[in-house]
Amino acid sequence: MFHRSMQSAILCGLCLLLVTSAARADDWPQWRGPKRDGVWRETGVLEKFPADGLKILWRKDISAGYCGPTVADGRVYVMDRPDTPEQQSERIHCLDAKTGKPIWSHKYDCEYRVQYVAGPRASVTIEDGRAYALGTMGHFHCYDAATGKVLWNKELNTEYAIRMPIWGIAASPLVDKDLVIVNIGGAGDACIVAFDKKTGEEKWRSLGDNASYSAPIIIEQAGKRVLVCWTGDAVAGLDPATGKVYWRQVMKPTRMVINIATPVIEKDRLFVSCFYDGSMMLRLLPDRTEVEQIWRRLGPDEMKTDSLHAIISTPLMEGDYIYGVDSYGELRCLDAKTGDRIWESQKAVPRARWATIHMVRNADNIWMFNDRGDLLITRLSPDGYEEISRAHLIDPTKDQLPRGAGVCWAHPAYANKHIFIRNDKEIVCADLSAEQ
Protein backbone atom coordinates (compact mmCIF):
# COMPACT_ATOMS: atom_id res chain seq x y z
CA MET A 1 0.00 0.00 0.00
CA PHE A 2 2.82 2.38 0.92
CA HIS A 3 4.62 1.51 -2.31
CA ARG A 4 1.56 2.29 -4.42
CA SER A 5 1.02 5.56 -2.54
CA MET A 6 4.62 6.59 -3.21
CA GLN A 7 4.19 5.76 -6.90
CA SER A 8 1.03 7.88 -7.06
CA ALA A 9 2.74 10.79 -5.33
CA ILE A 10 5.71 10.63 -7.71
CA LEU A 11 3.42 10.48 -10.75
CA CYS A 12 1.40 13.43 -9.48
CA GLY A 13 4.59 15.38 -8.89
CA LEU A 14 5.84 14.62 -12.38
CA CYS A 15 2.52 15.67 -13.89
CA LEU A 16 2.61 18.94 -11.93
CA LEU A 17 6.18 19.54 -13.10
CA LEU A 18 5.20 18.94 -16.70
CA VAL A 19 2.20 21.26 -16.46
CA THR A 20 4.30 23.96 -14.80
CA SER A 21 7.12 23.68 -17.33
CA ALA A 22 4.60 23.76 -20.18
CA ALA A 23 3.12 27.06 -19.00
CA ARG A 24 3.60 29.46 -21.85
CA ALA A 25 5.08 32.93 -21.54
CA ASP A 26 5.09 35.49 -24.34
CA ASP A 27 6.14 39.04 -25.09
CA TRP A 28 3.76 41.64 -26.51
CA PRO A 29 6.03 43.24 -29.11
CA GLN A 30 3.46 45.07 -31.24
CA TRP A 31 -0.09 46.38 -31.50
CA ARG A 32 -2.60 43.74 -30.29
CA GLY A 33 0.03 41.14 -29.47
CA PRO A 34 2.60 38.84 -31.08
CA LYS A 35 0.40 38.03 -34.09
CA ARG A 36 -1.47 41.36 -34.12
CA ASP A 37 -4.73 39.48 -33.65
CA GLY A 38 -5.82 40.34 -30.10
CA VAL A 39 -5.08 36.84 -28.77
CA TRP A 40 -3.12 36.38 -25.53
CA ARG A 41 -1.72 32.86 -25.74
CA GLU A 42 0.06 32.63 -22.38
CA THR A 43 -0.95 29.96 -19.89
CA GLY A 44 -0.70 29.92 -16.10
CA VAL A 45 -2.64 33.17 -15.64
CA LEU A 46 -5.38 34.10 -13.19
CA GLU A 47 -8.88 32.74 -13.65
CA LYS A 48 -10.23 35.12 -11.02
CA PHE A 49 -8.76 38.18 -9.33
CA PRO A 50 -7.65 38.05 -5.66
CA ALA A 51 -10.13 39.43 -3.17
CA ASP A 52 -7.66 42.11 -2.08
CA GLY A 53 -7.02 43.26 -5.64
CA LEU A 54 -4.23 42.90 -8.15
CA LYS A 55 -0.60 42.95 -7.06
CA ILE A 56 1.01 46.08 -8.50
CA LEU A 57 4.70 45.47 -9.19
CA TRP A 58 5.64 49.02 -10.11
CA ARG A 59 4.45 52.44 -11.23
CA LYS A 60 6.42 54.92 -13.29
CA ASP A 61 5.55 58.57 -13.94
CA ILE A 62 5.10 59.53 -17.60
CA SER A 63 3.27 62.28 -19.46
CA ALA A 64 0.16 62.13 -21.61
CA GLY A 65 -0.39 59.95 -24.66
CA TYR A 66 -2.69 57.41 -26.29
CA CYS A 67 0.15 55.02 -27.19
CA GLY A 68 -0.37 51.55 -25.70
CA PRO A 69 2.74 49.88 -24.21
CA THR A 70 4.62 47.08 -25.97
CA VAL A 71 6.96 44.55 -24.33
CA ALA A 72 9.93 42.58 -25.68
CA ASP A 73 13.13 41.04 -24.30
CA GLY A 74 12.57 42.28 -20.76
CA ARG A 75 11.87 45.87 -21.82
CA VAL A 76 8.71 48.00 -22.03
CA TYR A 77 8.27 50.74 -24.66
CA VAL A 78 5.83 53.64 -24.50
CA MET A 79 5.58 57.15 -25.97
CA ASP A 80 4.35 60.40 -24.44
CA ARG A 81 4.28 64.17 -24.91
CA PRO A 82 5.63 66.40 -22.13
CA ASP A 83 3.39 69.24 -21.04
CA THR A 84 5.83 72.03 -21.90
CA PRO A 85 4.14 74.86 -23.82
CA GLU A 86 7.45 76.56 -24.62
CA GLN A 87 8.74 73.54 -26.57
CA GLN A 88 6.48 70.95 -28.18
CA SER A 89 8.07 67.52 -28.34
CA GLU A 90 7.44 63.78 -28.29
CA ARG A 91 9.34 61.11 -26.35
CA ILE A 92 9.87 57.38 -26.45
CA HIS A 93 10.75 55.60 -23.20
CA CYS A 94 12.32 52.18 -22.67
CA LEU A 95 11.84 50.73 -19.17
CA ASP A 96 12.91 47.57 -17.38
CA ALA A 97 9.89 45.25 -17.48
CA LYS A 98 10.55 43.84 -13.99
CA THR A 99 11.21 47.08 -12.14
CA GLY A 100 10.02 50.00 -14.28
CA LYS A 101 13.45 51.60 -14.04
CA PRO A 102 14.39 53.74 -17.06
CA ILE A 103 16.81 52.16 -19.54
CA TRP A 104 16.80 54.87 -22.19
CA SER A 105 14.66 57.74 -23.46
CA HIS A 106 14.70 59.88 -26.58
CA LYS A 107 13.00 63.25 -27.15
CA TYR A 108 12.58 65.14 -30.40
CA ASP A 109 10.89 68.41 -31.33
CA CYS A 110 7.36 68.00 -32.68
CA GLU A 111 4.86 70.80 -33.14
CA TYR A 112 1.30 69.49 -33.04
CA ARG A 113 -1.17 70.76 -35.64
CA VAL A 114 -3.97 68.33 -34.89
CA GLN A 115 -6.91 68.05 -32.55
CA TYR A 116 -6.56 66.10 -29.29
CA VAL A 117 -2.98 66.97 -28.38
CA ALA A 118 -2.48 64.56 -25.47
CA GLY A 119 0.39 62.76 -27.19
CA PRO A 120 1.50 60.00 -29.58
CA ARG A 121 -1.07 57.45 -30.67
CA ALA A 122 0.72 54.49 -32.27
CA SER A 123 2.23 51.64 -30.25
CA VAL A 124 5.96 51.06 -30.73
CA THR A 125 6.73 47.95 -32.80
CA ILE A 126 9.67 45.77 -31.68
CA GLU A 127 11.28 43.29 -34.08
CA ASP A 128 14.73 41.73 -34.38
CA GLY A 129 16.38 44.09 -31.90
CA ARG A 130 14.87 47.25 -33.39
CA ALA A 131 12.15 49.58 -32.13
CA TYR A 132 9.97 51.41 -34.68
CA ALA A 133 8.19 54.50 -33.33
CA LEU A 134 5.74 56.55 -35.40
CA GLY A 135 4.73 59.93 -33.98
CA THR A 136 1.53 61.92 -34.32
CA MET A 137 2.91 64.31 -36.97
CA GLY A 138 4.73 61.61 -38.92
CA HIS A 139 8.15 61.54 -37.24
CA PHE A 140 9.35 57.99 -37.83
CA HIS A 141 12.32 56.58 -35.89
CA CYS A 142 14.09 53.24 -35.92
CA TYR A 143 16.07 52.63 -32.71
CA ASP A 144 18.38 50.00 -31.39
CA ALA A 145 15.85 48.50 -29.00
CA ALA A 146 18.42 47.84 -26.27
CA THR A 147 20.37 51.09 -26.30
CA GLY A 148 18.11 53.71 -27.87
CA LYS A 149 20.63 54.56 -30.58
CA VAL A 150 18.84 56.08 -33.57
CA LEU A 151 19.52 53.79 -36.53
CA TRP A 152 17.53 55.90 -38.99
CA ASN A 153 14.71 58.42 -38.94
CA LYS A 154 12.37 60.21 -41.32
CA GLU A 155 10.03 63.19 -41.18
CA LEU A 156 7.24 61.65 -43.22
CA ASN A 157 5.06 64.76 -43.22
CA THR A 158 7.82 66.71 -44.98
CA GLU A 159 8.87 63.92 -47.32
CA TYR A 160 5.40 62.69 -48.31
CA ALA A 161 3.19 65.80 -47.89
CA ILE A 162 0.76 63.91 -45.66
CA ARG A 163 -2.92 64.77 -45.94
CA MET A 164 -2.92 64.89 -42.17
CA PRO A 165 -5.90 63.24 -40.45
CA ILE A 166 -7.70 65.49 -37.99
CA TRP A 167 -6.28 63.47 -35.07
CA GLY A 168 -2.85 62.82 -36.56
CA ILE A 169 -1.03 59.60 -37.46
CA ALA A 170 -2.17 56.71 -35.26
CA ALA A 171 -1.68 53.34 -37.01
CA SER A 172 1.14 51.29 -35.50
CA PRO A 173 3.93 50.26 -37.94
CA LEU A 174 3.83 46.69 -39.24
CA VAL A 175 7.08 44.77 -39.79
CA ASP A 176 6.85 42.09 -42.46
CA LYS A 177 10.01 40.22 -43.46
CA ASP A 178 12.49 42.92 -44.59
CA LEU A 179 9.94 45.75 -44.65
CA VAL A 180 8.29 48.10 -42.18
CA ILE A 181 4.91 49.32 -43.45
CA VAL A 182 2.99 52.44 -42.39
CA ASN A 183 -0.45 53.96 -43.06
CA ILE A 184 0.23 57.70 -43.52
CA GLY A 185 -1.96 59.11 -46.33
CA GLY A 186 0.84 60.77 -48.26
CA ALA A 187 0.20 62.83 -51.39
CA GLY A 188 -0.36 61.01 -54.66
CA ASP A 189 -0.22 57.25 -54.27
CA ALA A 190 1.54 57.20 -50.90
CA CYS A 191 -1.27 56.26 -48.52
CA ILE A 192 0.57 53.05 -47.62
CA VAL A 193 4.39 53.13 -47.73
CA ALA A 194 6.92 50.34 -47.13
CA PHE A 195 10.53 50.95 -46.07
CA ASP A 196 13.54 48.71 -45.74
CA LYS A 197 13.45 47.93 -42.04
CA LYS A 198 17.24 48.19 -41.65
CA THR A 199 17.99 51.31 -43.72
CA GLY A 200 14.74 53.26 -44.00
CA GLU A 201 14.96 53.26 -47.80
CA GLU A 202 11.54 53.39 -49.49
CA LYS A 203 10.68 50.11 -51.22
CA TRP A 204 7.17 50.80 -52.45
CA ARG A 205 4.14 53.07 -52.09
CA SER A 206 0.52 52.29 -52.85
CA LEU A 207 -3.03 53.72 -52.94
CA GLY A 208 -4.17 57.29 -53.40
CA ASP A 209 -6.48 57.09 -50.38
CA ASN A 210 -6.57 59.26 -47.30
CA ALA A 211 -5.01 57.83 -44.16
CA SER A 212 -7.06 56.28 -41.41
CA TYR A 213 -6.18 55.42 -37.81
CA SER A 214 -6.43 51.66 -38.41
CA ALA A 215 -3.31 49.47 -38.23
CA PRO A 216 -2.59 47.14 -41.20
CA ILE A 217 -2.44 43.35 -40.80
CA ILE A 218 -1.23 40.34 -42.83
CA ILE A 219 -3.60 37.49 -43.71
CA GLU A 220 -3.59 34.41 -45.94
CA GLN A 221 -5.91 34.30 -48.95
CA ALA A 222 -5.96 31.95 -51.95
CA GLY A 223 -2.50 30.67 -51.05
CA LYS A 224 -1.01 34.18 -50.90
CA ARG A 225 0.01 36.53 -48.12
CA VAL A 226 -2.18 39.64 -48.27
CA LEU A 227 -1.63 42.99 -46.55
CA VAL A 228 -5.04 44.25 -45.41
CA CYS A 229 -5.27 48.03 -45.03
CA TRP A 230 -8.39 49.89 -43.94
CA THR A 231 -7.70 53.39 -45.25
CA GLY A 232 -9.83 56.50 -45.04
CA ASP A 233 -11.66 55.52 -48.23
CA ALA A 234 -11.65 51.73 -48.60
CA VAL A 235 -10.59 48.31 -47.37
CA ALA A 236 -7.78 47.07 -49.60
CA GLY A 237 -5.71 43.91 -50.01
CA LEU A 238 -2.14 44.41 -51.25
CA ASP A 239 0.87 42.26 -52.05
CA PRO A 240 3.05 43.01 -48.97
CA ALA A 241 6.25 42.57 -50.99
CA THR A 242 5.40 45.06 -53.77
CA GLY A 243 2.31 47.08 -52.82
CA LYS A 244 0.39 45.73 -55.82
CA VAL A 245 -3.36 46.06 -55.26
CA TYR A 246 -5.11 42.68 -55.23
CA TRP A 247 -8.54 44.06 -54.33
CA ARG A 248 -10.16 47.24 -53.02
CA GLN A 249 -13.65 47.62 -51.53
CA VAL A 250 -14.77 51.26 -51.31
CA MET A 251 -16.16 52.48 -47.96
CA LYS A 252 -16.32 56.27 -48.27
CA PRO A 253 -16.91 58.27 -45.07
CA THR A 254 -20.30 59.97 -44.87
CA ARG A 255 -19.05 62.66 -42.49
CA MET A 256 -15.35 62.26 -41.64
CA VAL A 257 -12.68 59.57 -41.49
CA ILE A 258 -13.00 57.86 -38.13
CA ASN A 259 -11.77 54.36 -39.02
CA ILE A 260 -9.87 53.28 -35.89
CA ALA A 261 -10.50 49.61 -35.14
CA THR A 262 -8.30 46.95 -36.73
CA PRO A 263 -9.97 44.75 -39.41
CA VAL A 264 -11.08 41.41 -37.96
CA ILE A 265 -10.69 38.08 -39.79
CA GLU A 266 -12.49 34.78 -39.16
CA LYS A 267 -11.92 32.12 -41.82
CA ASP A 268 -13.26 33.63 -45.07
CA ARG A 269 -14.91 36.68 -43.46
CA LEU A 270 -13.40 40.16 -42.98
CA PHE A 271 -15.21 42.68 -40.75
CA VAL A 272 -14.76 46.43 -40.19
CA SER A 273 -16.80 48.90 -38.14
CA CYS A 274 -16.63 52.62 -37.36
CA PHE A 275 -18.52 55.28 -35.42
CA TYR A 276 -20.29 57.24 -38.17
CA ASP A 277 -20.37 54.66 -40.97
CA GLY A 278 -21.50 51.45 -39.32
CA SER A 279 -20.22 48.04 -40.37
CA MET A 280 -19.27 46.05 -43.44
CA MET A 281 -18.65 42.33 -43.85
CA LEU A 282 -16.61 41.02 -46.78
CA ARG A 283 -16.05 37.49 -48.03
CA LEU A 284 -12.45 36.59 -48.93
CA LEU A 285 -12.74 34.43 -52.03
CA PRO A 286 -10.79 31.19 -51.52
CA ASP A 287 -9.58 30.61 -55.08
CA ARG A 288 -8.40 34.11 -56.02
CA THR A 289 -7.37 37.36 -54.32
CA GLU A 290 -10.73 39.08 -54.59
CA VAL A 291 -13.53 39.96 -52.17
CA GLU A 292 -17.28 40.36 -52.29
CA GLN A 293 -19.54 42.27 -49.93
CA ILE A 294 -21.77 40.07 -47.78
CA TRP A 295 -23.60 42.88 -46.01
CA ARG A 296 -23.35 46.56 -45.11
CA ARG A 297 -25.29 48.09 -42.19
CA LEU A 298 -25.55 51.77 -41.26
CA GLY A 299 -27.88 53.47 -38.80
CA PRO A 300 -29.28 57.00 -39.25
CA ASP A 301 -27.02 58.59 -36.62
CA GLU A 302 -24.71 57.87 -33.68
CA MET A 303 -27.65 57.49 -31.29
CA LYS A 304 -29.76 55.29 -33.56
CA THR A 305 -27.16 52.81 -34.71
CA ASP A 306 -27.68 49.66 -36.71
CA SER A 307 -25.66 46.48 -36.23
CA LEU A 308 -22.47 48.01 -34.78
CA HIS A 309 -20.94 51.50 -34.89
CA ALA A 310 -17.57 50.89 -33.20
CA ILE A 311 -15.25 53.74 -32.23
CA ILE A 312 -11.91 52.74 -30.65
CA SER A 313 -12.61 49.13 -29.67
CA THR A 314 -11.61 46.40 -32.14
CA PRO A 315 -14.40 43.79 -32.24
CA LEU A 316 -14.02 40.02 -31.83
CA MET A 317 -15.36 37.56 -34.38
CA GLU A 318 -15.81 33.92 -33.47
CA GLY A 319 -17.58 31.50 -35.76
CA ASP A 320 -20.91 32.99 -36.74
CA TYR A 321 -20.87 35.72 -34.08
CA ILE A 322 -19.36 39.18 -33.66
CA TYR A 323 -18.81 40.85 -30.27
CA GLY A 324 -18.16 44.58 -30.34
CA VAL A 325 -18.65 47.88 -28.54
CA ASP A 326 -21.09 50.38 -30.04
CA SER A 327 -20.96 54.18 -30.08
CA TYR A 328 -21.97 54.73 -26.44
CA GLY A 329 -20.35 51.67 -24.87
CA GLU A 330 -23.07 49.13 -25.63
CA LEU A 331 -21.47 45.68 -25.76
CA ARG A 332 -23.25 43.82 -28.57
CA CYS A 333 -23.42 40.37 -30.08
CA LEU A 334 -24.21 40.23 -33.79
CA ASP A 335 -25.07 37.46 -36.22
CA ALA A 336 -22.01 37.47 -38.49
CA LYS A 337 -24.07 36.20 -41.43
CA THR A 338 -26.43 39.19 -41.44
CA GLY A 339 -25.28 41.82 -38.94
CA ASP A 340 -28.51 41.42 -36.95
CA ARG A 341 -28.24 42.16 -33.25
CA ILE A 342 -28.62 39.17 -30.91
CA TRP A 343 -28.10 40.89 -27.57
CA GLU A 344 -26.80 44.08 -25.96
CA SER A 345 -25.32 44.76 -22.51
CA GLN A 346 -24.18 47.90 -20.72
CA LYS A 347 -22.56 46.01 -17.82
CA ALA A 348 -18.92 46.10 -18.96
CA VAL A 349 -18.55 49.89 -19.17
CA PRO A 350 -20.90 52.75 -18.13
CA ARG A 351 -22.78 54.45 -20.96
CA ALA A 352 -20.97 57.46 -22.44
CA ARG A 353 -20.15 58.80 -25.88
CA TRP A 354 -17.10 56.93 -27.21
CA ALA A 355 -17.04 54.57 -24.22
CA THR A 356 -14.32 52.02 -24.91
CA ILE A 357 -13.42 48.43 -24.06
CA HIS A 358 -10.24 46.76 -25.32
CA MET A 359 -10.88 43.01 -25.65
CA VAL A 360 -8.27 40.23 -25.74
CA ARG A 361 -8.93 36.49 -25.87
CA ASN A 362 -7.08 34.13 -23.52
CA ALA A 363 -8.23 30.50 -23.89
CA ASP A 364 -12.00 30.54 -23.16
CA ASN A 365 -11.94 33.91 -21.41
CA ILE A 366 -12.22 37.41 -22.82
CA TRP A 367 -10.13 39.92 -20.90
CA MET A 368 -11.54 43.43 -21.09
CA PHE A 369 -9.98 46.72 -20.13
CA ASN A 370 -12.55 49.52 -20.06
CA ASP A 371 -12.00 53.25 -20.26
CA ARG A 372 -12.72 53.68 -16.52
CA GLY A 373 -9.52 51.77 -15.72
CA ASP A 374 -11.17 48.45 -14.83
CA LEU A 375 -9.80 45.05 -15.86
CA LEU A 376 -12.43 42.34 -16.36
CA ILE A 377 -12.35 38.59 -16.95
CA THR A 378 -15.46 37.61 -18.90
CA ARG A 379 -17.10 35.01 -21.11
CA LEU A 380 -19.01 35.93 -24.26
CA SER A 381 -21.47 33.70 -26.11
CA PRO A 382 -24.64 34.05 -28.18
CA ASP A 383 -26.48 33.53 -24.86
CA GLY A 384 -25.07 36.70 -23.31
CA TYR A 385 -22.36 38.42 -21.29
CA GLU A 386 -20.90 36.71 -18.20
CA GLU A 387 -18.60 38.62 -15.86
CA ILE A 388 -16.24 36.37 -13.89
CA SER A 389 -14.07 38.92 -12.11
CA ARG A 390 -13.32 42.66 -12.06
CA ALA A 391 -10.52 44.77 -10.57
CA HIS A 392 -9.72 48.47 -10.78
CA LEU A 393 -6.24 48.85 -12.21
CA ILE A 394 -5.56 52.52 -12.98
CA ASP A 395 -7.46 55.80 -12.67
CA PRO A 396 -8.78 57.60 -15.76
CA THR A 397 -7.20 60.96 -16.60
CA LYS A 398 -8.46 63.97 -18.54
CA ASP A 399 -5.70 64.79 -21.03
CA GLN A 400 -6.86 62.14 -23.51
CA LEU A 401 -10.49 63.24 -23.14
CA PRO A 402 -11.91 65.64 -20.50
CA ARG A 403 -15.13 63.65 -20.05
CA GLY A 404 -16.18 63.36 -16.41
CA ALA A 405 -13.19 61.95 -14.54
CA GLY A 406 -11.46 61.29 -17.86
CA VAL A 407 -10.69 58.10 -19.76
CA CYS A 408 -8.11 55.35 -20.20
CA TRP A 409 -8.00 54.82 -23.96
CA ALA A 410 -4.59 53.13 -24.36
CA HIS A 411 -4.56 49.40 -25.16
CA PRO A 412 -2.88 47.24 -22.46
CA ALA A 413 0.04 44.91 -23.14
CA TYR A 414 -0.21 41.36 -21.74
CA ALA A 415 3.27 39.88 -21.44
CA ASN A 416 5.00 37.26 -19.31
CA LYS A 417 1.90 36.88 -17.10
CA HIS A 418 1.73 40.60 -16.40
CA ILE A 419 -0.32 43.52 -17.66
CA PHE A 420 1.23 46.87 -18.58
CA ILE A 421 -1.12 49.84 -18.92
CA ARG A 422 -0.83 53.64 -18.90
CA ASN A 423 -2.90 56.77 -18.45
CA ASP A 424 -1.77 60.39 -18.83
CA LYS A 425 0.28 60.36 -15.62
CA GLU A 426 1.82 56.91 -15.14
CA ILE A 427 2.48 53.47 -16.53
CA VAL A 428 1.63 50.52 -14.28
CA CYS A 429 2.67 46.85 -14.20
CA ALA A 430 0.49 44.29 -12.38
CA ASP A 431 0.99 40.57 -11.79
CA LEU A 432 -1.55 38.27 -13.49
CA SER A 433 0.18 34.95 -12.80
CA ALA A 434 -1.79 32.11 -11.26
CA GLU A 435 1.19 31.29 -9.01
CA GLN A 436 0.64 34.39 -6.86
What are the pLDDT digits (tens) for 219-245? Answer: 999 999 999 999 999 999 999 999 999
pLDDT the model gives residue 432 = 98
pLDDT the model gives residue 25 = 77
211 burial type by CB count under 10 A (0-12 exposed, 13-18 middle, 19+ buried): buried
Span 326-378, pLDDT tens digits: 999 999 999 999 999 999 999 999 999 999 999 999 999 999 999 999 999 99
Question: Residue 190 pLDDT > 60, yes or no?
Answer: yes
Span 309-320, pLDDT tens digits: 999 999 999 999
Q: What is the mean pLDDT of residues 402-431?
A: 97
The DSSP secondary-structure symbol of 72 reads E
Domain ranges of the chain: 22-431
CA distance 316 to 154: 35
Pairing, β 278-284 against β 75-80: unpaired
Fold of 22-431: Methylamine Dehydrogenase; Chain H (2.130.10)
First to last CA, the chain: 35
> Residue 436 — very low, low, confident or very high, per pLDDT cuts 50/70/90?
confident
pLDDT the model gives residue 5 = 44
Span 133-149, pLDDT tens digits: 999 999 999 999 999 99
> Residue 9 — very low, low, confident or very high, per pLDDT cuts 50/70/90?
very low
pLDDT the model gives residue 359 = 98
Question: Residue 387 pLDDT > 90, yes or no?
Answer: yes
CA distance 348 to 49: 16
Question: Residue 13 pLDDT > 70, yes or no?
Answer: no
Q: Regarding predicted confidence, which is higher, 21 or 49?
A: 49
> Residue 248 — very low, low, confident or very high, per pLDDT cuts 50/70/90?
very high
Sign of torsion over alpha carbons 393, 398, 326, 36: negative
- Phi and psi of 27, rounded to 5°? -85, 175
DSSP, collapsed to helix, strand or coil, labels residue 17 as helix
Q: Which of 422, 306, 410, 401 is CA-nearest to residue 352? A: 401
DSSP, collapsed to helix, strand or coil, labels residue 335 as strand
pLDDT the model gives residue 21 = 38
CA distance 270 to 280: 8
pLDDT the model gives residue 16 = 43
How far, rounded to the nearest angstrom, does the alpha carbon of residue 59 sit from its chain's CA centroid?
Answer: 22
CA distance 34 to 435: 23
Question: Residue 182 pLDDT > 70, yes or no?
Answer: yes
The DSSP secondary-structure symbol of 136 reads T
Q: What is the mean pLDDT of residues 272-291?
A: 98
> Residue 24 — very low, low, confident or very high, per pLDDT cuts 50/70/90?
low
Q: What is the mean pLDDT of residues 245-258?
A: 96
Contact partners, residue 88, CB within 8 Å, separation at least 6 = 81, 109, 110, 111, 112
pLDDT the model gives residue 322 = 98
Task: Please say whether the beta carbons of 417 and 401 come within 8 A.
Answer: no
> Residue 15 — very low, low, confident or very high, per pLDDT cuts 50/70/90?
very low
pLDDT the model gives residue 120 = 98
> Residue 391 — very low, low, confident or very high, per pLDDT cuts 50/70/90?
very high
Average pLDDT of the chain?
94
